[in-house]
Amino acid sequence: MTTRRSSRKQQQWGGLQAVLVVGSLVATLAGTRLLSLQEPVETAVSADAMQTVSVQEPTVVIVPTDSSLLPLPPDGARGVQVELKPIAQAVTPDIQPVARASSSR
C-alpha cells in the first residue's frame, strides 16, 4: 500500500511540477508580450515630455543697460590709448623751419 500510495504521490507531484513549469512558461511569455505592448506607449510619453520641456524653456538673452557690464573684447581694444615712441634724433630738423603750415593766410 505504502508503495502504491507513494507512487501515486510521486505521480501527483510530477504532474504538479509539469503544470508549474508550463504555467511559468506561459506566464513568462505572456509577461513578455505585455511588456512589448507597453513599450511604444512609454516611448510616446517620453517624446511628449521632451516636447513640453523644449516649449517651457525658451532662450532668454539679458542685455545689461549699463555698458560697463559688457565684457571687454578678447584683445582688450576698447579704450586703448597708444603711447608714442620717441622718434630718433636723426630725423629731427636741426635748423629753424622756413615755412609754417597754417589755415589760409
Minimal distance in Å, beta carbon 90 to other proteins?
9
Closer residue to other proteins (CB): 36 or 102:
102
Minimal distance in Å, beta carbon 62 to other proteins?
23
Check the CA dihedral 98-100-101-104 and report its sign.
negative
Burial status of residue 101 (CB atoms within 10 A of its CB: 0-12, 13-18, 19 or more): exposed
d(CA 52, CA 31): 31
User: In whole angstroms, what separates CA 64 from the centre of its chain?
Assistant: 27
d(CA 71, CA 87): 36
Closer residue to other proteins (CB): 1 or 95:
95
Closer residue to other proteins (CB): 49 or 72:
72
Minimal distance in Å, beta carbon 70 to other proteins?
13
Cell numbers for 90, please give them. 636723426
Closer residue to other proteins (CB): 69 or 84:
84
Judged by the rule CB under 8 A, the positions of this chain that interact with other proteins are: 77-82, 84-87, 91-93, 95-105
Minimal distance in Å, beta carbon 96 to other proteins?
7
